[in-house]
């Protein structure tokens, strides 16, 4: 695994010997090809960060900052080593993702949010994809026209949620990558009772791939 392009392009990244499923280089290349210049100057959040490959790729390509959230101790150490190896600066937070979303204080929103959760179910038996897409706090962390990049199993059905609209979906073998944007202001999810559609935010420009 390596950084594909940018200031740290070509540098190989460590992968922890633990239960981490890093994003394949060809999938990562396709993600960033689609994002194009959206990444330049962006505040980036990397959830279930694993090796830190997505956030580090963003920093290498010109993102202004990256926050990595990961609960696995070996993975956290790996992210820190990879940041040092690439000579890039990022903030690493050792915390379970949903605990982070519950406890996160109001902060400047992120333009890009990455999430590559485990394919297996949560300890409580829920699906990570469904839990993420129904999480209002996550939606509130994204800029109005920002992009949420979510990786999931190709065979996993997309749950219905009023919070998000799919801008683009691409399959790469057993992996599907979804590019999503907020479809409503998160507070409207509870406030709207008339059942009518709300105006949608304008979509960020994604490159054709």
Q: Is residue 178 part of a domain?
A: yes
Query: Is the model's pLDDT at 199 over the cut of 50?
Result: no
This prediction has a pTM of 0.86
Q: Is residue 7 part of a domain?
A: no
Q: Is residue 11 part of a domain?
A: no
Query: Is the model's pLDDT at 57 over the cut of 70?
Result: yes
Q: Is residue 5 part of a domain?
A: no
Helices (H), 87-157: 97-103, 128-133, 136-140
Structure tokens at 191: 């406030």
pLDDT at 202: 42
Return the closest-CA partner of residue 176 out of 9, 20, 14, 24: 24
Least reliable range by pLDDT among 73-77, 118-122, 179-183 = 118-122
Question: What confidence tens digit (pLDDT) does each residue in 88-143 have?
Answer: 999 999 999 999 998 877 678 999 999 999 876 656 656 889 899 999 999 999 99
Strand 91-94 relative to strand 43-47: parallel, antiparallel, unpaired? unpaired
**Which of the residue ranges 31-40, 119-128, 165-174, 178-187 has the most confident prediction, judged by mean pLDDT?**
31-40
What does each C-alpha distance from 189 to 112, 135, 150 come to in angstroms?
Answer: 22, 11, 21
Structure tokens at 172: 């790469």
Q: How many structural domains comprise the chain?
A: 1
The range of the structural domain enclosing residue 61 comes to 25-191
Q: Is 208 left (phi over 0), alpha (psi -120 to 50) or beta?
A: beta
Q: Is residue 29 part of a domain?
A: yes
Return the closest-CA partner of residue 179 out of 203, 154, 143: 203
Instruction: Give the chain's count of helices (H) and strands (E).
Output: 7, 7
pLDDT at 139: 93
């Amino acid at each position: 695994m390596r950084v594909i392009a940018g200031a740290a392009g070509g540098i190989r990244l460590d992968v922890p010997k633990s239960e981490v499923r890093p994003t394949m280089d060809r999938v990562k290349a396709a993600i960033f090809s689609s994002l194009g210049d959206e990444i330049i100057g962006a505040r980036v959040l990397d959830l279930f960060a694993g090796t830190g490959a997505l956030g580090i790729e963003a920093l290498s390509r010109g993102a202004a900052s990256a926050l990595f959230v990961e609960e696995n101790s070996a993975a956290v150490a790996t992210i820190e080593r990879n940041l040092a190896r690439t000579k890039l600066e990022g903030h690493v937070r050792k915390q379970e993702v949903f605990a982070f979303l519950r406890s996160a204080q109001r902060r400047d929103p992120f333009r890009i949010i990455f999430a590559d959760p485990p394919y297996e179910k949560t300890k409580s038996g829920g699906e990570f994809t469904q839990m993420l897409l129904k999480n209002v706090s996550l939606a509130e962390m994204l800029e109005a026209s920002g992009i949420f990049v979510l990786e999931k199993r190709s065979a996993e059905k997309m749950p219905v949620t009023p919070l998000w609209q799919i801008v683009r979906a691409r399959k790469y073998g057993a992996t599907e990558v979804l590019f999503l944007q907020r479809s409503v202001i998160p507070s409207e999810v509870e406030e709207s009772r008339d059942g009518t559609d709300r105006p949608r935010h304008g979509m960020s420009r994604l490159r054709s791939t």
